[in-house]
Amino acid sequence: MPPDDPSATTVRPIAPDDVPAVVDLSLRAWRPVFESFERVLGPEIYQRIYPDWLTSQAAAVRGTCDGPHVWVAATSQRPVGFVAVDVRGDDARSAEVDMIAVDPDHQRKGVATALITHALDQLRSLGVAIADIGTGGDPGHAAARRTYEKAGFTALPLVRYYKVL
């Protein structure tokens, strides 16, 4: 798209006015993930782990948006996605892509790729040597896994087991 196209997506640092829109798009983006968790875990375990996922995730996103390394993808100045990274330690040798979400209406349009590319470029400029990102192995995270692999991340399969006591 030409740079003067108002529908073009740009990545920029988050602004305080962006936070409500980022929280909203994140909750809409992650709804299928939490539905997948419930199917995989079953209702008893799911309710014990996520009794009110909307409230806890909204608070987590708001808290993350206060961090120093948070960017939004915006179309016509409206956030359509965001990414937050956590640079570890004083030596800034490693970092984690802590959160990423794309508005469901803007998924499969390269927004997540643009956000990850931007975040990794910023980390490189800080001298970060290695970045990691975590996601679930459940069906609700299949698109995330494809995006991260496309961005060049190497998967290390891990398994977490749950049991009601």
Q: What is the pLDDT of residue 1?
A: 40
pLDDT in the model for residue 158: 86
Q: What is the pLDDT of residue 5?
A: 52
Residue 70, SS3 per DSSP: strand
φ and ψ at residue 41, rounded to 5 degrees: -80, -25
What is the DSSP code (8-state) at residue 121? H
- Tell me the per-residue pLDDT of 104-141, one tens digit each, with 9 for 90 and over: 999 999 999 999 999 999 999 999 999 999 998 888 89
Residue 2: is its pLDDT beyond 90? no
In whole angstroms, give the CA distance from residue 84 to residue 27.
15
Question: What are the structural domains, with CATH classification, of the chain?
Answer: 9-150 (3.40.630.30)
Joined together, the tokens standing for residue 106 give 């803007």
pLDDT of residue 88: 85
Six-digit token string for 26:
């994140």
Residue-averaged pLDDT of the chain? 92
Given a contact cutoff of 8 angstroms between Cβ atoms, the answer to whether 116 and 136 are in contact is no
